[in-house]
């Protein structure tokens, strides 16, 4: 029997079978794959066993979408998915999305084949059989992403599948969660192996509790302060922690800034939710609790009270994987907010009731001024032509309830959307890798199939999101999502950054700032139609509410993906 006949007649189980079985035993529900020449053992394993011995396998036509889907699933479900890509080229295509997942502390198992190392073995052993196998080999394939994962390893022995998969998943979910990476040479994938369904050998670590002495010091500082302030971005990753923050802030009348939030940390309607911008409130704050926030303010532009006492509380309050970060801190408390906030609340039980009452009045007045400013913007936005982003945000906000999830990438402005339900809002990674929102919305739909998923995506971000791959997945896997393209004909962040640096510069004297314009803009609504969805262009502010209502009806009742191309002004 020659090698080709041996491959075609394969009936024994290989490492591909063992990997799929181990992932199933570990509770992995979906296996997102973008295949290449390293995948034949995995493909044979799936063909022999279907989904009975492994997680459900989904073909994802672009690596960026696959990793973003795993990101979206994990942020909603709280547990990882498995993604497998094609050797170094597939890995490199996923690095942008992986950067987002790493900086947002999202657990996922990222795997990739490794080019066969042998040149003269039999084909059934996985040896090199294509011309690309020479050019695709690297001295250190994982080196290209080692800064963006918690752990990486090359599977070298069929006998170690259970150990390695278990360790990878445990590390991804422990301490500060994050992605892990495993490469697998084709010779190893093709080797015989016996699948196992034994329970995982190791369990992830639990919540990190704070040092009691540091909690006592933090309570003393906050209780003595006349105008304490809390700034957060990520505490809403845990719905329980968001609830603890709401209770603490209300009980002690401490205003909260949610600065560039990646999760809903506190509802707009909460009496202590002051603002989304730290300036100018920082100038009056004599004590600041920085809670799960990597960048609480911009040192170059945001004035801080000269005598402010600053406390940082996060699993890694130093953000030690950031090369430079120099915010002041008299206390750095390494703990999970879900565990720490109730303890801090208890430690502040002796605060002076009169001081709390007086502060509550000051917060209400300051909050009223902020809300009046927001309302003034919305009042002018209602009839503006083109559609004003604030009017779009307000209309989208009216769709949000406890059965809807908003995935927001450069889409709607949170203060105008009325977001009030923890666990129902997700924003982009602080790394700013564009293209996250499309895949993340699909992953959220995988995790919450009965919920309405609304993805508000800037037009510039839509390009990066590999829209054909994303809309294909929505159709192929019955993942109806309402996609709203916020079309301002360019990259608004680039324009804003240019204006901030060069307010009197030459770039502002013309009609368009160079390198920031997407014009002529595509007919985005037509792209989704090629994948069986419904698309509509909206330019009239009066037509927007009805267009959104129609779109929601299609998504919910017809289970059809919908894209609204909403043309908006550049004003934010």
> Tokens standing for 266?
């506190």
What pLDDT, on a 0 to 100 scale, did the predictor assign at position 506?
Answer: 80
What pLDDT, on a 0 to 100 scale, did the predictor assign at position 52?
Answer: 67
User: Poorest-confidence range of 52-66, 126-140, 360-374, 505-519?
Assistant: 505-519
Q: How open is the CA angle 567-562-483, to the nearest 5 degrees?
A: 55
| CA-based torsion, 174, 178, 179, 182: positive or negative | negative
pLDDT grade for 487, boundaries at 50, 70 and 90: very high
What are the beta bridge partners of residue 456? 408, 484
What pLDDT, on a 0 to 100 scale, did the predictor assign at position 1?
Answer: 31
Q: Which one-letter DSSP state was computed for residue 554?
A: I
What pLDDT, on a 0 to 100 scale, did the predictor assign at position 7?
Answer: 39
pLDDT for residue 9 is more than 50:
no
* 3 or 198, greater pLDDT: 198
Listing DSSP states for 59-109 in one string gives: E-S-HHHHHHHHHHHHHHHSS--EEEE-HHHHHHHTHHHHHHHHHTT--EE
How far apart are alpha carbons 203 and 224 in whole angstroms? 41
pLDDT grade for 198, boundaries at 50, 70 and 90: confident
**In CATH terms, is domain 382-567 a member of 3.30.930.10?**
no
Tell me, yes or no, if the two domains 3-190 and 382-567 fold the same way: yes
What pLDDT, on a 0 to 100 scale, did the predictor assign at position 6?
Answer: 38
How far apart are alpha carbons 293 and 312 in whole angstroms? 8
Query: Quick check: 176 and 126 in contact, CB under 8 A?
Result: no
pTM equals 0.94
What pLDDT, on a 0 to 100 scale, did the predictor assign at position 480?
Answer: 98
What pLDDT, on a 0 to 100 scale, did the predictor assign at position 531?
Answer: 97
Listing DSSP states for 492-524 in one string gives: HHHHHHHHHH-TTSGGGSSSS-TT-B--SPP-H
How far apart are alpha carbons 395 and 283 in whole angstroms? 34
Which residues have CB under 8 Å from 342's CB, separation 6+? 244
What mean pLDDT do residues 3-28 have? 76
What mean pLDDT do residues 528-554 have? 97
Query: Quick check: 112 and 34 in contact, CB under 8 A?
Result: no
What mean pLDDT do residues 233-240 have? 96
pLDDT tens readout for residues 26-59: 999 999 999 999 999 999 999 988 666 679 999 9
How far apart are alpha carbons 509 and 54 in whole angstroms? 60
Query: Quick check: 87 and 136 in contact, CB under 8 A?
Result: yes
What mean pLDDT do residues 347-361 have? 92
Query: Quick check: 185 and 154 in contact, CB under 8 A?
Result: yes
Among candidates 473, 528, 530, 445, which has minimal Cα distance to 58? 473
User: What's the CATH fold of domain 3-190?
Assistant: Rossmann fold (3.40.50)
User: What's the CATH fold of domain 212-371?
Assistant: Rossmann fold (3.40.50)
What pLDDT, on a 0 to 100 scale, did the predictor assign at position 491?
Answer: 62
What pLDDT, on a 0 to 100 scale, did the predictor assign at position 571?
Answer: 59
If you average pLDDT over every residue of the chain, what do you get? Answer: 92
Residue spans of the domains in the chain: they are 3-190, 212-371, 382-567
pLDDT grade for 3, boundaries at 50, 70 and 90: very low
pLDDT tens readout for residues 255-313: 999 999 999 999 999 999 999 999 989 999 999 999 999 999 999 999 999 999 999 99
What H or E segment, with its residue span, contains residue 479?
none
pLDDT tens readout for residues 104-143: 999 999 999 999 888 887 767 888 888 899 888 999 999 9
What pLDDT, on a 0 to 100 scale, did the predictor assign at position 410?
Answer: 87
Query: Quick check: 179 and 210 in contact, CB under 8 A?
Result: no
Query: What distance lies between CA 305 and its chain's CA centroid?
Result: 33
CB neighbour class for 339 (10 Å; exposed up to 12, middle 13-18, buried from 19) = middle
What pLDDT, on a 0 to 100 scale, did the predictor assign at position 8?
Answer: 39
Query: Quick check: 325 and 294 in contact, CB under 8 A?
Result: yes
What pLDDT, on a 0 to 100 scale, did the predictor assign at position 518?
Answer: 76
pLDDT grade for 514, boundaries at 50, 70 and 90: confident
* pLDDT more than 90, % of the chain: 82
Query: Quick check: 441 and 468 in contact, CB under 8 A?
Result: no
Over 382-398, what HEC string results? CCCCCECHHHHHHHHHC
């Amino acid at each position: 029997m020659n090698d080709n006949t041996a491959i075609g007649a394969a009936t024994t189980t290989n490492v591909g079978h063992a990997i799929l079985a181990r992932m199933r035993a570990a509770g992995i529900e979906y296996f997102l794959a973008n295949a290449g020449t390293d995948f034949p053992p995995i493909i044979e394993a799936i063909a022999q066993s279907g989904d009975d011995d492994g997680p459900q396998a989904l073909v994802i036509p672009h690596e960026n979408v696959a990793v973003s889907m795993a990101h979206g699933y994990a942020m909603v479900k709280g547990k990882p998915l498995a993604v497998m890509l094609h050797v170094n080229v597939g890995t490199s295509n996923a690095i942008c999305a992986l950067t987002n997942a790493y900086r947002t502390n999202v657990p996922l198992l990222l795997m990739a084949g490794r080019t066969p190392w042998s040149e003269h073995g039999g084909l059934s052993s996985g040896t090199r059989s294509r011309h690309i196998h020479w050019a695709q080999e690297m001295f250190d394939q994982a080196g290209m992403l080692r800064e963006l994962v918690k752990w990486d390893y090359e599977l070298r022995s069929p006998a170690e599948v259970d150990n390695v998969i278990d360790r990878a998943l445990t590390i991804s979910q422990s301490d500060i969660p994050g992605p892990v990476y495993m490469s697998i040479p084709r010779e190893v994938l093709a080797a015989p192996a016996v699948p196992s369904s034994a329970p995982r050998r190791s369990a992830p670590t639990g919540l990190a509790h704070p040092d009691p002495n540091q909690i006592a010091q933090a309570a003393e500082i906050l209780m003595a302060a006349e105008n304490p302030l809390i700034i957060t971005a990520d505490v809403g990753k845990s719905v329980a922690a968001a609830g603890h923050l709401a209770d603490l802030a209300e009980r002690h009348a401490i205003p909260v800034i949610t600065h560039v939030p990646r999760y809903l940390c506190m509802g707009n309607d909460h009496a202590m939710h002051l603002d989304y911008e730290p300036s100018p409130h920082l100038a009056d704050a004599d004590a600041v609790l920085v809670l799960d926030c990597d960048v609480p303010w911009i040192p170059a532009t945001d004035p801080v009270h000269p005598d402010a006492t600053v406390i940082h509380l996060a699993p890694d309050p130093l953000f030690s994987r950031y090369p430079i970060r120099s915010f002041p801190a008299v206390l750095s408390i390494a703990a999970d907010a879900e565990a720490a906030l109730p303890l801090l609340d208890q430690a502040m039980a002796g605060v002076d009731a009169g001081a709390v009452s007086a502060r509550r009045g000051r917060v209400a007045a300051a909050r009223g001024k902020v809300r009046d400013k927001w309302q003034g913007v919305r009042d002018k936005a209602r009839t503006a032509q083109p559609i004003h982003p604030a009017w779009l945000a307000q209309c989208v906000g009216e769709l949000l309830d406890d059965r809807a999830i908003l995935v927001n990438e450069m889409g709607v402005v949170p203060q105008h959307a009325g977001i009030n339900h923890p666990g129902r809002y997700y924003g982009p990674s602080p790394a700013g890798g564009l293209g996250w929102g499309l895949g993340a919305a699909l992953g959220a739909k995988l995790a919450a199939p009965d919920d309405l998923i609304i993805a508000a995506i800037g037009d510039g971000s839509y390009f990066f999101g590999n829209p054909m791959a994303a809309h294909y997945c929505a159709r192929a896997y019955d993942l109806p999502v309402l996609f709203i393209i916020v079309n301002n004909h360019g990259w608004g962040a680039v324009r804003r950054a240019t204006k901030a640096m060069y307010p009197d510069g030459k770039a502002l004297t013309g009609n368009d700032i160079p390198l920031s314009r997407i014009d002529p803009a595509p007919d985005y609504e037509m792209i989704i139609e090629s994948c069986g969805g419904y698309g509509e262009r909206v330019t009239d502010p009066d037509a927007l509410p009805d267009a959104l209502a129609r779109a929601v009806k299609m998504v919910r009742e017809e289970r059809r993906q919908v894209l609204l191309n909403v043309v908006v002004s550049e004003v934010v």
